[in-house]
Amino acid sequence: MNKLYFKYGAMGSSKTAQALMCKFNYEQKGFNVFLFKSEIDNRKKDENGESIVWSRIGLSSKCKEYNEKFNFYNYFKDNHLLKEKNVVIVDECQFLTTIQVNQLKEISLYIPVLCYGLLTNYKTLLFEGSKRLIEIADSISEIKSICRCGRKATVNVRLKNGDVVKDGEEIQIGAEDCYESMCYSCYLKKIKDN
C-alpha cells in the first residue's frame, strides 16, 4: 500500500543510514528508487561533483538535489514516474516547504514516499517541512537516539565554544562540530550552566 512515511529523530540517530538501507532494500526487490536531498546540505559531493547522501557510518549513494522551488509532483508526473515499482526517499526532509510536502502526499497516492529528517530545530521549534509531515503523513515513527546521560535524546542543541546557542539563523549545516543531541533535562542543565 502506498503511503507518505515520516521517520524522524534527533541528530545522530541514524536517520540517513536508515534511509540508505531502505533504498538498498527496495532496489534489491527490483524497485526504482529516487533519492533526494536538499541543496542546503552541500557537504558531500562525489569525485565528479555530483551530490550524494552520506551517513557517518560510511554508507552513501548518489542523489538528486531539490531547492524550495522544486516541484516534486510535476517532476514525477512530467517524467511519467508515477507508476508501480517506483519509490521516493527524501533525506533531510525538514528542509521541505509545506507546498512540497503537499506534493509528496499527492505522489504517495501512486507510489511510496519515505521522508527522513529532524523534527525540531535547535530552538526546539518544528521545522516547516516536519510540521506539515506531522499533519498529513500516513505513518509517523521516531528513530531513537540517546543523550550522553543515557536518556532518550530529543533536543538538537547548537553549541559554540561549549555553550548553548539560543539565537540565530534556523539553519546551520554541520554536525559533530556545532550540534549535540541531548535529553531535555540535560538541555535545561546546560542552559543554566551557561
Domains in the chain: ranges and CATH: 4-144 (3.40.50.300)
Nearest alpha carbon to residue 91 among 46, 143, 30? 143
| Distance in angstroms (rounded) separating the CA atoms of residues 188 and 59 | 34
Residue 11 has which C-alpha cell? 541528530
- SS3 category, 139: strand
Active-site residue among 92, 142, 169, 170?
92
Q: How confident is the model at residue 26 (pLDDT cuts 50, 70, 90)?
A: very high
User: Which amino acid, one-letter code, is at 47?
Assistant: E
Decide if pLDDT at 99 tops 60.
yes
Tens of pLDDT, residue by residue over 101-139, are 999 999 999 999 999 999 999 999 999 999 999 999 999
Nearest alpha carbon to residue 34 among 106, 86, 73? 86
Decide if pLDDT at 175 tops 60.
no
Torsion 35-41-45-50 (CA) sign = positive
Mean pLDDT of the chain: 91
pTM, two decimal places: 0.91
In the chain the beta strands, taken as DSSP E runs, fall at 4-8, 32-38, 52-54, 60-62, 64-66, 86-91, 113-117, 139-142, 155-160, 163-164, 179-182
The C-alpha cell 539563523 sits at 169
90, 65 Cβ separation under 8 angstroms: no
For 104, list phi and psi in degrees, rounded to 5: -65, -35
Q: What angle do CA 122, 117, 94 make, to 5 degrees?
A: 65
111, 11 Cβ separation under 8 angstroms: no
Question: Is 39 assigned a catalytic role?
Answer: no
DSSP calls for 86-119: EEEEEESGGG--HHHHHHHHHHTTTS-EEEEE-S
Decide if pLDDT at 44 tops 80.
no
